[in-house]
Amino acid sequence: MLSEADNQLLCRVEGDAPMGRMLRDNFWVPAIRSARLEPDGAPIRLKFFGDDYVVFRSTDGRVGFFDEACPHRRASMALGRNEGNGLRCIFHGWKIDVSGKVVEMPNEHRDPERMCAKVKVGHYPTREVVGMVWVYLGAKAEPPPLQNFEFMTLPEEHVRILTVDIPCNWINSVEASIDDAHVGILHASFMDVYKDRRPHEVVAGPPAYEVDQHPYGFQGTVLRSLPGGRSMASSTHFAMPWFGFTSTGRPDAPGATRRAVHVAIPIDDYNYRQVFFSYDVNSPAENFFAGATEYDQDNFAPPLGGPETVWGQDREAMKNGHFSGFLSNLTSEDTAIQMSQGAIPDRTHEVLCSSDKAIGFMRHTLIQAARDYQAGKVPLGAAPGIDWSKIRSRLAFVEPGENWRDKLAAAPDFRVPAVALT
């Protein structure tokens, strides 16, 4: 449960909302898959934090990321011609080169060169890492370093990226990414796929949560009792500001070198872009997205409906044994739930229980980061020197009398050597 004021502080990102400012100023945004952009191809419209942008790949392969509105009279630059290493507005022909300078102004007869030099274009630095365009939308003159997550240091073919835009607030999704307690219940009908890695009867049991704070966010460890006094410890991680490292499988099962990171980027207050980075530290990543056979990588789990169709739920399928009635894939179960919670859920009327410990912790971590930012302090995750590449989920079986922290720390993690990203 949160106060209304804290809920607003947590969720709102548009304009001068402190959370949006904190996010933009301190963190790079995974914006769009690199493969979507072709040299001299159609520019693509994007919206983040309520602001409209346009992204394109120039003739020589560089990426340009501008405010969508033409600096002249605000026509959409998404209508522009992408040519000669720049974008040309089709209204009066102003051309902005890929670095964000106005270089041609064909409708100015007095002193076009001087006029060009005077115009300020909203343009943003980008980096391309593991097949993703990352953009810095903040106000700092010197952008912070990119977070050097493990998956960002792998060969590109080891990483698979899936994205989809969902009509609800980003926090609904961040919560789901660290909520291990729902996995064996909401996703019960998809758990067969993972049965070698996470036995369903174990995953469905009530979890005890332990939370350990770190400079990157926190580790939430789920402890579940097994027959014979043993227990299973499984860690998830919340990494500032929107990364959820979901639970992994048992280290001795096939596919133990696979991992997944779930990201929720605010499009505006009522929509978010979900990005999944699935990766294999040892080999090229296959399709290990449960339940999906064919899908569009850039719209991999589109919403099946809104409240008027009960979010597209299939009651017939439920009669025939499907637990949730969302057949297409596991993510459609998550997104239907998230939309049903409300575009911004009323968190003043929740009743939280013990398995919501990590959820509460994440909310307060982000709220504190926004408050620290407002107070001129360095928010969590923005201090220099954090080694993000060390973050990974682990699973360990713990015998009676053993310490679960020691067992988890000793679990094989198949690490790849860290690489610094600048």
Question: Contact positions toward ligand FES, by CB under 6 A?
Answer: 70, 72-73, 75, 89, 91-94
Closest CB to Fe ion among 172 and 365? 172
CB of 209 to Fe ion, least distance (A): 16
CB 341 within 8 A of CB 182: no
The CA distance from 305 to 156, in Å, is 34
Residue 91 binds which of ligand FES, Fe ion, none (CB < 5-8 A, kind-dependent): ligand FES
Identity of the residue, 104 or 334, whose beta carbon is nearer to Fe ion in the bound complex: 334
Residue 72 vs 200, nearer CB to ligand FES: 72
Residues 225-264: x/- map of binding to Fe ion (CB under 5 A)?
----------------------------------------
Query: Contact letters (x/-) for Fe ion, 324-343, by CB under 5 A?
Result: ----------x---------
Closest approach of Cβ 357 to ligand FES, in Å?
Answer: 52
- Contact present, 83 and 90 (Cβ < 8 Å): no
Determine the residue with CB nearest Fe ion: 334
- Count the site residues for Fe ion by CB under 5 A: 1
The H or E element that residue 11 is part of is: helix 4-11
Distance between the two ends of the chain, CA-based, in angstroms? 39
* Token output for 182: 């729902």
- The Cα 293–Cα 240 span in angstroms is 32
Count Cβ atoms within 10 A of the Cβ of residue 403 and give its class: 0-12 exposed, 13-18 middle, 19 or more buried. Answer: exposed
The 3 state secondary structure assigned to 170-232 is: HHHHHHHHCCHHHHHHHCHHHHHHHCCCCCHHHHCCCCEEEEEEECCEEEEEEEEECHHHCEE
51 vs 334 by CB, closer to Fe ion: 334
State the Cα torsion 302-303-305-311 to the nearest 10°.
Answer: 140
CB of 90 vs ligand FES, minimal distance in Å:
8
Choose the contact partner of 84 out of Fe ion, ligand FES, none; CB within 5 to 8 A by kind.
none
Output the smallest distance, CB 51 to ligand FES, in A: 18
Our CB check for Fe ion shows the closer of 51 and 179 to be 179
Q: What value does the CA radius of gyration of the chain take, rounded to a whole number of Å?
A: 23
Nearest 10 degrees: Cα torsion 166, 172, 173, 175: -170
- The residue (of 87 and 285) whose beta carbon lies closer to ligand FES is 87
CA pair distance 7, 332, nearest whole angstrom: 25
CA–CA distance, 332 with 179 (Å, rounded to integer): 16
Residue 94 interacts with which of ligand FES, Fe ion, none, CB < 5 to 8 Å by class: ligand FES
The entry of ligand FES, Fe ion, none near residue 89 (CB within 5 to 8 angstroms by kind) is ligand FES
Q: Which residues, 6+ apart, have CB-to-CB distance to 371 below 8 Å?
A: 9, 18
Closest CB 179 distance from Fe ion, rounded Å: 7
Nearer to Fe ion, 334 or 413 (CB): 334
Please state whether the peptide bond connecting residue 241 to the residue before it is cis, i.e. omega within 30 degrees of 0: yes
Min separation Cβ 379 and Fe ion, Å: 27
Q: Which is nearer to Fe ion, 7 or 329 (CB)?
A: 329
Q: Which does 334 bind (CB under 5 to 8 A by kind): Fe ion, ligand FES, none?
A: Fe ion
CB of residue 69 to ligand FES, shortest distance in Å: 8
Q: Rule CB under 5 A: which residues touch Fe ion?
A: 334
